[in-house]
Amino acid sequence: MEGTALRGRLIWQLGEVVETRTETARARSLTLAVPGWPGHRPGQHVDLRLTAEDGYQAERSYSIASPPEERGKVMITVERLDDGEASPYLVDEVKLGDRLELRGPIGGYFVWEAQMGGPLLLVAGGSGIVPLMAMIRHRRAVASTVPARLLYSARSQDEVIYRDELDESARRDRRLDVIYTLTRSQPPGWAGYRRRIDGDLLREVAWPARDGPRAYICGPTQFVETAAAGLVSLGYDPARVKTERFGPTGGG
């Protein structure tokens, strides 16, 4: 991830879990109160360090889901990986009042703030929605009128993280479009897309390149590469197509 060179200057801090929220059967959001938190930009991430009773440590990077306007608080959303070292604990066991070690914020490449303008195109695959949600929440917090469009690919409707909030945000804001494509199963009467994101789907959904949009893509590596190549083939300026990716396991 972008920002690796900065990690040596970052210090570990303790954050207290002050809120938890179940997002899907496999995903959970944790909000930590972090005294002295310097603030972050939408799209940045943090490192989290867990230490077992025997001294074994595991470090993982998690995108920040909360907007910078929620001062002193950091929300992460974790999707459980059955063979993961950290995610089962964070999703199933962490409770209110627990204290977790984190450092950050990290990253300066994959960020969007309202003053950067748009139109804004966000393309998410699975839990890749997390840093994009920080951008959507920031946009709402500052009452930005920048036109924004989210294309979100998930395996099923039940695996759409933040679904209720996304739907409500789109209902309230006519300048925000939320478009889903469900790749494995769809509920009865589903009228939306039901295929993987490719060049043809992007041609139907994406802002025209002539509008000079900014694009942010986050998800598994192959998903990101396919979506980025599709946008460039549609005439998007490669310098305005920002990507963030994770491997097959997402880190665990």
**pLDDT tens-digit series, residues 71-129:** 999 999 999 998 888 999 999 999 999 999 999 999 999 999 999 999 999 999 999 99
Establish if 73 belongs to a structural domain. yes
Q: Say yes or no: 71 and 92 in one domain.
A: yes
Neighbours of 157 (CB within 10 A): 15
Residue 252 predicted with pLDDT over 90: no
d(CA 107, CA 63): 10
Partners of 46 in the β-ladder: 62
Residue type, 42: P
Alpha helix stretches (DSSP H) within 194-237: 199-205, 221-233
pLDDT at residue 10 in the model: 84
Q: Across the chain, what does the average pLDDT equal?
A: 92
Q: Say yes or no: 159 and 233 in one domain.
A: yes
* Tokens 């989290």, residue located: 48
Last residue of a domain, one of 106, 132, 164: 106
Arithmetic mean of pLDDT, 123-138: 97
Range of 173's domain? Answer: 114-246
pLDDT at residue 247 in the model: 56
Residue 60 predicted with pLDDT over 70: yes
Residue 179 predicted with pLDDT over 70: yes
Last residue of a domain, one of 78, 106, 134: 106
pLDDT at residue 85 in the model: 87
Q: Say yes or no: 69 and 159 in one domain.
A: no
Q: How confident is the model at residue 246 (pLDDT cuts 50, 70, 90)?
A: confident
The SS3 assignment for 75 reads strand
- Which residue has better confidence, 8 or 28? 28
Contacts of 8 (CB under 8 A, 6+ apart): none
First vs last Cα of the chain: how many Å apart? 16
CATH number of the domain at 175, please: 3.40.50.80
Nearest CA to 183 out of 126, 131, 128, 227 is that of 126
Q: Say yes or no: 20 and 73 in one domain.
A: yes
pLDDT at residue 9 in the model: 61
Q: How confident is the model at residue 3 (pLDDT cuts 50, 70, 90)?
A: very low
Q: Say yes or no: 9 and 73 in one domain.
A: yes
Residue type, 159: E
Arithmetic mean of pLDDT, 150-172: 97
Percent of the chain with pLDDT over 70: 94
CA neighbours closer than 13 Å in the CB half-sphere of residue 93: 9
Q: Say yes or no: 147 and 200 in one domain.
A: yes
Establish if 77 belongs to a structural domain. yes
Arithmetic mean of pLDDT, 211-229: 96
CATH number of the domain at 70, please: 2.40.30.10
Establish if 121 belongs to a structural domain. yes
Summarize pLDDT for 186-214 with one digit per residue, the tens: 999 999 999 999 999 999 999 999 999 99
Q: Say yes or no: 30 and 54 in one domain.
A: yes
User: How many domains is the chain built from?
Assistant: 2
Arithmetic mean of pLDDT, 160-187: 97
Question: 232 — phi, psi (to 5°)?
Answer: -65, -40
Q: Say yes or no: 163 and 135 in one domain.
A: yes
Question: 152 — phi, psi (to 5°)?
Answer: -120, 120
Establish if 251 belongs to a structural domain. no
pTM equals 0.93
Last residue of a domain, one of 87, 106, 125: 106
The two tokens of residue 245 are 């990716």
